[in-house]
Amino acid sequence: MVCGGYVCTKNALCALNILYILVSLLLVGVAGWGKWFDLVSSIRVVAGVIGVGVFLFLVAFVGLCGALKHHQVLLFFYMMVLFIVFVGQFSVSCACLALNKDQQKLLLEVGWNKSEATQRDVERTLGCCGFSFVPINGSCAARCFDINPETCVTCSTTILQYAGEVLRFVGGIGLFFSFTEILGVWLAHRFRNIKDPRSNPGAFL
């Protein structure tokens, strides 16, 4: 049977969803590992990553079941959800690649002000203090602050050195997975309209 037939399309769709399941388990595992070893103390960040992993696992599981059983309803639901995810992820990926320095700094400052736990994680990991200025009379988790606060640099200075590269990396990964998602939509749509050669030739399952 040539590729593009029932078996080939089914196997491609199953392989794609197995890949998604592995990625989802990786996300959950990395989030749990980071929390267990106290690399990330922010519950919101950990919960967000785990939530994304669980959502991806459920979507992939639905797609895998739909592919294995050639189930029309599951495949349609999978196709619709994956298309919505594609639109959102493609938009965010393009935005990451298009942000200039000023927009990056504004976005980082908004995220910085939302969580004190994240601030402490960043200060401890990067060895910086504060976002726009070093809080001489305040507190900081960086080692330099305990030695001599005047030697500390602001976190905005440190983060912006790598923000462009990180955003380009995240945007590139996002674009890659967004195209795998549109591939999944196309495979699901095609598979729904292919007859199962083992069934009645004149009927669709």
Question: What is the per-residue pLDDT across 40-97, written as a single tens digit (0 to 9) for each?
Answer: 656 676 788 888 889 999 999 999 999 999 899 999 999 999 999 999 989 988 888 8
Spatial distance between the Cα atoms of 205 and 193, rounded to a whole number of angstroms: 9
Four-residue CA torsion sign, 111, 113, 114, 117 = positive
The predicted structure's pLDDT at residue 1 = 41
Q: Are 161 and 142 in contact (CB under 8 A)?
A: no
**CA geometry: angle at 116 spanning 46 and 45, to 5°?**
10
The predicted structure's pLDDT at residue 203 = 47
Place of tokens 């990395």: 30
Reported as half-sphere exposure (CB side, CA atoms, 13 A), residue 19 has a value of: 11
What's the predicted TM-score (pTM) here? 0.72
Two structure tokens written together for 198: 């083992």
The predicted structure's pLDDT at residue 2 = 44
The predicted structure's pLDDT at residue 141 = 83
Q: Write out the chain's pLDDT in tens, 205 residues.
A: 445 588 889 999 999 999 999 999 998 888 777 766 665 656 676 788 888 889 999 999 999 999 999 899 999 999 999 999 999 989 988 888 888 888 888 888 887 888 787 788 888 888 888 888 888 778 888 888 888 888 888 888 888 878 788 888 888 888 898 999 999 999 999 998 887 776 655 544 4
The predicted structure's pLDDT at residue 40 = 60
3 state DSSP class of 40: coil
- CA 67 remoteness from chain centre: 24
The predicted structure's pLDDT at residue 205 = 42
